[in-house]
Amino acid sequence: MDLDLLSMFVSVAEAASFSVAAKKLRLPKSSVSRGVARLEDGLGAQLLHRTTRHVSLTTAGAALYERTAPLLASLRSAVGALPERQEQPSGELRITAPNELGPWFLAEMVARFVARYPSVRVDAHLTTRAVDLVAEGFDLALRGSVNKLKDSSLTARWLGAFQGHLYASPSYLARRGAPRGPRDLKDHDWVVFRNMRGPLRLEGPGEPVMLEPRGRITADDFLFVREAVRSGAGIALFDSLFAEKDVTEGRLVCLLPRYRVNAGALYLVYPSTRHLPRKVIAFREILLEVIKARSASRSAAG
């Protein structure tokens, strides 16, 4: 049975008028009349008595209306209650991100998101492994990469570049002294984040300088590296936004501030789809708002 035809019949039965039903359905009166006639032909029964002034249900029509009108109303309610059909984002947003982005970046975004949209819930998974978004049912991911991400099943939105600077604690600098130029860095201890091992291209005044960070501490957890540097273990490379709070509060010092390392970029990744869920669009907008504000703050400070 065609639900569109059934919906026309129910509308006419409730309005007792083809004209009123057609106006409600935003259809021509002739289309509604033909639709009800097609339904009657398909059922092999007359559903409505028609006169020039009045429309009423036949016995068969009354029986059909009683059984189908509540079901159609429930169906409309169910479809209207779908999260993606509501004006405001709702439902659960599942996010995955690298461990180091949780406290530094993601927590603030999630807090803003749930404060702005009371009908949403967030399930955040922080992990070092590459998550299969589609297979594991995630709505989006934050990913850092040195190279442009390539996956035909995913959409990757560039959020910004990582601008790395070198940092150390005041206690380390009091013990070892501050480097006065890039050439002095080879004589210092480093705390190395495993994903950033290898030569670093330090750009600044003059020709770029290639560095090979060497230290007795190497780790695959960014927060561990930060704590070790705070504790005076050596020098490390951090994104300037990642370290700005520690610098402001005196726990870290930016070394050679005119020099930087371009250490890749941050991407928002989500499954490619024709109809992007409202909750994903809303979260993406908040991300872009905050990144724009932070970038403006960094530019003003620089």
Question: Does residue 21 have a pLDDT over 70?
Answer: yes
> 143 in helix, strand or coil?
strand
What pLDDT score does 121 carry? 92
List C-alpha distances in Å: 250 to 3, 181, 222, 295. 68, 22, 19, 22
**Residue 148 pLDDT:** 60
What's the chain's average pLDDT?
84
pLDDT on residue 300? 57
**pLDDT at position 82 over 80:** no
Give the number of other CB atoms < 10 A from CB of residue 225. Answer: 25
User: Side chain identity at 236, as an amino acid letter?
Assistant: A
- The pLDDT value given to residue 249: 93
Average pLDDT over residues 53-82: 81
Task: Work out the number of other CB atoms within 10 angstroms of the CB of residue 23.
Answer: 14
The residue type found at 23 is K
CA angle 151, 279, 265 (to 5 degrees): 40
**Average pLDDT in the 14-26 region?**
88
Query: Which helix H or strand E contains 60, and what residues bound it?
Result: helix 59-80
Q: Which domains does the chain have, with CATH numbers?
A: 3-81 (1.10.10.10), 92-153+268-297 (3.40.190.10), 162-263 (3.40.190.290)
pLDDT at 79: 65
Worst-scoring range by mean pLDDT, 34-43, 47-56, 100-109, 250-259?
100-109
pLDDT bin (cut points 50, 70, 90) of residue 167 is very high
* Distance from C-alpha of 252 to C-alpha of 137, rounded to nearest angstrom: 39
Q: What is the DSSP letter of 149?
A: -
Max mean pLDDT among 110-119, 148-157, 264-273 falls in 110-119
The confidence score (pLDDT) of residue 297 equals: 61
Q: What integer pLDDT is reported at residue 254 of this predicted model?
A: 95
> What pLDDT is recorded for position 80?
58
The mean pLDDT of 206-210, rounded to a whole number, is: 85
| pLDDT for residue 227 is more than 90 | yes
Q: What CA–CA distance (Å, rounded) separates 67 from 111? A: 47
Listed in sequence order, the residues at least 6 apart from 257 whose beta carbon sits closer than 8 Å to its beta carbon are 165
Task: Compare 134 and 34 and report the one with higher pLDDT.
Answer: 34
Q: Which amino acid is at 78?
A: A
- CB contact at 8 A, 169 and 251: yes
pLDDT at 256 over 90: yes
Tell me what pLDDT residue 87 has.
65
Place of tokens 């206690």: 171
DSSP state of 106: I
User: 143: how many CB neighbours lie within 10 A of its CB?
Assistant: 21
Task: Please tell me the predicted confidence (pLDDT) of residue 89.
Answer: 84
SS3 28: coil
Nearest to 283 by CA among 90, 77, 133: 90
Concatenated DSSP letters of 206-272: SS-EEE----SEEES-HHHHHHHHHTTS-BEEEEHHHHHHHHHTTS-EEESTT-BEEEEEEEEEEE-
Range of weakest confidence among 157-161, 239-243, 292-296: 292-296
What is the predicted pLDDT for the residue at 5? 87
Determine the pLDDT at residue 252. Answer: 96
- pTM, to two decimals: 0.59
pLDDT cut 70: percent of the chain above it: 89
Measured distance CA(83)–CA(76) in Å, rounded: 14
pLDDT the model gives residue 1:
64
Dihedral sign, Cα of residue 18, residue 20, residue 22, residue 28:
positive
- Return the DSSP state at 195: G
